[in-house]
Amino acid sequence: MAKETVTCEVTVINEQGLHLRPADALVQLAQKFDADIELLHDGACCDAKSILDVMALGAGPGAQLVIQARGFDAKRAVDLLASAFQEGFDQVFSDNADGCDEVGTG
């Protein structure tokens, strides 16, 4: 069975952008999944499980990012990460969160 790839477009709503605290929350959440998860921003691509990579994106307030995940739990990972972006990384997310209108799967 081929690994599913799921993508979702999100917006950074934090007033200070994707600074250390939300970046750390994002990385910790991403690390809970087996899927390979990447963030794409302004032509750059990074490993969402690496705090250094996420910080290097320099995603400021209002930045548009694409979450891209590949693996058997990719859909779940993208849904929870999209919810985290929508909440500004301020809440603990339930297993029933569904925060993305998918850009595409394949």
Phi/psi zone of residue 24: left (φ > 0), alpha (ψ -120 to 50 degrees), beta?
A: alpha
pLDDT in tens, 11-23: 999 989 998 999 9
Helices (H), 4-95: 20-30, 51-56, 74-87
Q: What is the pLDDT of residue 96?
A: 41
Spot the catalytic one: 5, 19, 73, 87.
19
Superfamily, domain 5-96: HPr-like (3.30.1340.10)
The phi, psi pair for 15, rounded to 5°, reads -60, -30
Q: What is the pLDDT of residue 102?
A: 52
Q: What is the pLDDT of residue 93?
A: 37
Task: Locate 39 and state its tokens.
Answer: 């963030």
Q: What is the pLDDT of residue 100?
A: 62
Give catalytic status of residue 41 as yes or no: no
Q: What is the pLDDT of residue 89?
A: 82
pLDDT in tens, 28-76: 999 999 999 999 999 999 999 999 999 999 999 999 999 999 999 999 9
User: What does the alpha-carbon distance between residue 37 and residue 73 come to, in Å, rounded to a whole number?
Assistant: 10
| Three-class DSSP category at 91 | coil
